[in-house]
Structure formats: structure tokens, C-alpha cells
Amino acid sequence: MKIGFIGGGAMAEAIVCGISSQPWIKPQDIYISDHKEKRCNYLHDKYNVNASVGAQSFIKSVDVVILAIKPQSAAKAIDEIKGLVKSDAIVISIIAGMLLTALEKAFPVNPVIRVMPNTPMAVGAGMSAIALGKKAEEVHGSIAEKIFSSAGRVIFVEEKLMDAVSGLSGSGPAFIFVLIDAMSDAGVKAGLKRNAAIQLAAQTVLGSAKMVLETGMHPAQLRDQVTSPGGTTIEGVHVMEQRGVRGAMIDAVTAAVEKSRAMGKK
């Protein structure tokens, strides 16, 4: 399998980082195109993959094309390659807000798949949602799953839910970083050194998330397990509820979802 990336930004690098360590693909079968030569040199040197300014050298031969470009640059980049992609190549888009109908119009003979990953893929802990286009069959979905599960977890959803995915898991890491930063600030205020406070806060978030995923228990059940009657935790939970932390998180995700919907209508 040969995989070609159109765009060599942070998300493309996160995916490359995940798949380049897998036994089913060799670094020399990974191709990246980016408009900055300095970026290409960096990706080549770090991952030993093929990286070039422009996709003309590989676009006709790759089996999977991953569109990893910013929404504002998407139309121009797609126009440059849409007539060059192999007819049986799988086209996977991680372009925020770009609908399958638009992608299928540009690549009418290809199986097209839309994926919403997130940045924790860079450390093997990503979350990706996959929506299949009309010509994409189970075998094509399996290939997409293989690529994105190399650096995290994968779920399949209907495309109509992709805006919800974008607002929750796509934007979600930023919301969690804000919480980790705030928690570490509280640790510093209580007397901890900054590095220790960040480590305590970040590992607490990591461990809590792992408990949710591995136990299958509802977060509220797990919260109750650590909330002793008359203890320190219920005092903190009480303040969070008073200050509207839960409502703020719901509003933040909802705002991100609505922004994704608005981008899709442009």
C-alpha cells in the first residue's frame, strides 16, 4: 500500500507518526506534499518518508490519498490533483467542514471517506470518526480504520454527526488543555512547583480518562466512587457546580459544533 498526503501540517504529521511505526507499511511508501520546502525537509529527516513541494511525483501511483489541508486552501489543492488520482485509489479527507457530496463531485469515480481525527494521534492516543461515501465499501472503511487506529481509537458514524464529532473530540483537546492549565495553576497557588503541578494535573486527566474507557462505567459512577461523604472532593465538586463548569463545557462544545456546521455551509 502506498499512501500520499496532500498537506504536511500538524495533523498529517500526527497520522504519519502513527502509521510509520506499523509493520504493514514502509516509510518509503509514504508520500507527503507541502508548499514549504523547509517543512518537507523536516518530515523527510524525522520520519524517513518521501516529502516534496507538490504532489506531481506521486499522486498518480498512490493507493490512498489523504487530504490534510486547511479548509481555505482545499478547493485549490483539490483542483490540482483531482484529474490525476488513480480511479481505484481511496480518497480520505480530514478537511473540517467539507462534505462528502463536495468530495464526491471532485472525485466521482473514487471511493471517498471523510474522517475527523484529533491531535492526540501524535502520541498514539487519538480519537477518529469515520464516515463512508456512497462508493466506499466495507473494505475501504477497513483500510481507513487501519490507518487511523494505528494511533488511537476509531468509530464509524453517519456523516450528519460529523459536526458533533468535530465539536466534541476534534476541538475537545483544547478544552482539556485549558482545564489542565487551570488545575496546575491551582496547584501552584497551593504551593506546588509548576512542573510538579502540571504533571499531577495531566496524569490525573489521563488516568481518569483511562478509567472511563477501560471500566465502561458512566463518569458519574466513577465520580461517586471518589466523592466521600463530607470529604474534600465533594467540596470541590460543589464549587464546580456553583461556578457552572459543567454548563461552560456543554456551551463550549456546542459552540464548536455550530461553527463546524457554519463552515460546512460555505
Mean pLDDT in each 10-residue stretch from start to end of the chain (266 residues)?
A: 94 90 92 94 95 93 95 89 93 92 95 95 92 96 95 95 94 97 98 98 97 96 96 96 96 94 77
Q: Extract the C-alpha cell encoding 64.
A: 490512498
State whether 193 and 155 are in the same domain.
no
CATH number of the domain encompassing residue 115: 3.40.50.720
Please give the residue range of the domain that contains residue 241.
172-265
Binding residues for NADP(+): 6-11, 33, 68-71
Q: Is 51 helix (H, G, I), strand (E, B) or coil?
A: strand
Tally of domains within the chain: 2
DSSP annotation of 107 reads: S
**Residue 73 confidence (pLDDT):** 87
State whether 33 and 107 are in the same domain.
yes
Q: Residue 160 CB: number of other CB atoms within 10 A? A: 8
State whether 213 and 144 are in the same domain.
no
Domain termination residue (choose one: 163, 194, 218): 163
**Residue 260 confidence (pLDDT):** 86
State whether 208 and 144 are in the same domain.
no
State whether 121 and 234 are in the same domain.
no
CATH number of the domain encompassing residue 261: 1.10.3730.10
Domain termination residue (choose one: 102, 134, 163): 163
Starting at the earlier edge strand, list the strands of the sheet with 152-156: 50-52, 30-33, 3-6, 64-67, 90-93, 112-116, 126-132, 152-156
Binding residues: 6-11, 33, 68-71
State whether 13 and 143 are in the same domain.
yes
- Rounded Cα distance between 42 and 30, Å, is 14
Assign residue 95 a region: left if phi > 0, alpha if psi is -120 to 50, beta otherwise? beta
State whether 152 and 209 are in the same domain.
no
State whether 211 and 128 are in the same domain.
no
State whether 112 and 187 are in the same domain.
no
**Residue 266 confidence (pLDDT):** 66
